[in-house]
């Protein structure tokens, strides 16, 4: 089956420093899966941060970027300079065709804490 | 904009009890989902439904039933709650069956005594 791996359960970064959250995936579909980053800010529901549906393309939102690397099967999330307000839990996910329709498979999440 | 409403926000049950979680969406989305979130395990798909009266099993469907009697609502039943079970159940919806973008509710936190 499909799987998404996030190796870091928790990351602490000082404000204004750079960030990378790792994500690798494995998909069973014949084509390429769609890739997503979702985020849950404290006290809020899970929401889409960015998505990329074409291999080789980059998605961006709120200063975050992620590039769909099909050779490395990776979709790492990066930001050049984090802010305290970026403290949240980040989930990498892929959508792949199941027996009936698509379904979204999530990684285990990475909790980001930005020190002021 | 739309909203997904999950009720109740907190659910406390006894071992062996049948418990039902409800979800309503006003996006007019076709597809709805139930995910279970456990600490350190991410989100795991329990059931999804691509249209009214349709049900598809996810990776974690054993021990659960689901019902999609209306396009706007999707309920999940824990058929026999397990003691010491604690998890957050998230409902979501998407426009079509392609899971392009999911919109999530705020969750129901289940505790089984």
What DSSP string runs through A33-90? Answer: PEEEEEEE-TTS--EEEEEE-STT-EEEETTEEEE-BTTTTB--EEESS--GGG-EEE
- Report residue B96's pLDDT band, with 50, 70 and 90 as the boundaries: confident
Q: If you average pLDDT over residues B94-101, what whole number do you get?
A: 74
Q: If you average pLDDT over residues A33-59, what whole number do you get?
A: 93
Nearest to B47 by CA among B21, B73, B20, B66: B66
pLDDT at A74: 97
Q: Of A53, A101, A109, which has the smallest distance from its Cβ to B56's Cβ?
A: A101
User: Distance between CA A20 and CA A9 in Å, rounded?
Assistant: 13
Q: A51 and B40: CB-CB below 8 Å?
A: no
Q: A91 and B90: CB-CB below 8 Å?
A: no
User: Distance between CA A90 and CA A108 in Å, rounded?
Assistant: 9
User: Distance between CA B60 and CA B96 in Å, rounded?
Assistant: 22
- Give the mean pLDDT of chain A: 91
pLDDT tens for each residue of A55-66: 999 999 999 999
Residue A19 neighbours by CB distance under 10 Å? 19
pLDDT at B99: 59
- Residue B55 in contact with residue B47, Cβ under 8 Å? yes
A12-16, A44-48, A93-97, B102-106 — which is least confidently predicted? Answer: A93-97
Q: If you average pLDDT over residues B88-110, what whole number do you get?
A: 87
| Secondary structure letter of residue B63 according to DSSP | T
Q: B59 and A1: CB-CB below 8 Å?
A: yes
Q: Of A47, A101, A106, which has the smallest distance from its Cβ to B97's Cβ?
A: A101
Q: A9 and B40: CB-CB below 8 Å?
A: yes
Task: Say if residue A5's pLDDT is above 80.
Answer: yes
């Amino acid at each position: 089956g499909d799987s998404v791996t996030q190796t870091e359960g928790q990351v602490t970064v000082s404000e204004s420093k750079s960030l990378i959250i790792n994500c690798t995936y494995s998909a069973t579909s014949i084509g390429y899966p769609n890739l997503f980053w979702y985020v849950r800010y404290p006290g809020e529901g899970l929401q889409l941060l960015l998505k990329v549906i074409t291999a080789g393309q980059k998605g961006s939102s709120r200063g975050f970027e992620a590039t769909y690397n099909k050779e490395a099967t990776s979709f790492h999330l990066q930001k050049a300079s984090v802010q305290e307000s970026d403290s949240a839990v980040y989930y990498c996910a892929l959508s792949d065709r199941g027996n009936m329709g698509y379904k979204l498979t999530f990684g285990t999440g990475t909790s980001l804490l930005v020190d002021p | 904009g739309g909203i997904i409403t999950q009720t109740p926000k907190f659910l406390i049950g006894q071992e062996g009890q049948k418990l039902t979680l409800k979800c309503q969406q006003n996006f007019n989305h076709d597809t709805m989902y139930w995910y279970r979130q456990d600490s350190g395990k991410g989100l795991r798909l329990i059931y999804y439904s691509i249209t009214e009266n349709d049900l598809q099993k996810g990776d974690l469907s054993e021990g659960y039933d689901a019902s999609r009697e209306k396009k706007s609502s999707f309920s999940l039943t824990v058929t026999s709650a397990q003691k010491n079970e604690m998890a957050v159940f998230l409902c979501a919806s998407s426009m079509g069956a392609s899971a392009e973008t999911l919109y999530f509710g705020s969750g129901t936190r289940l505790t089984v005594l």
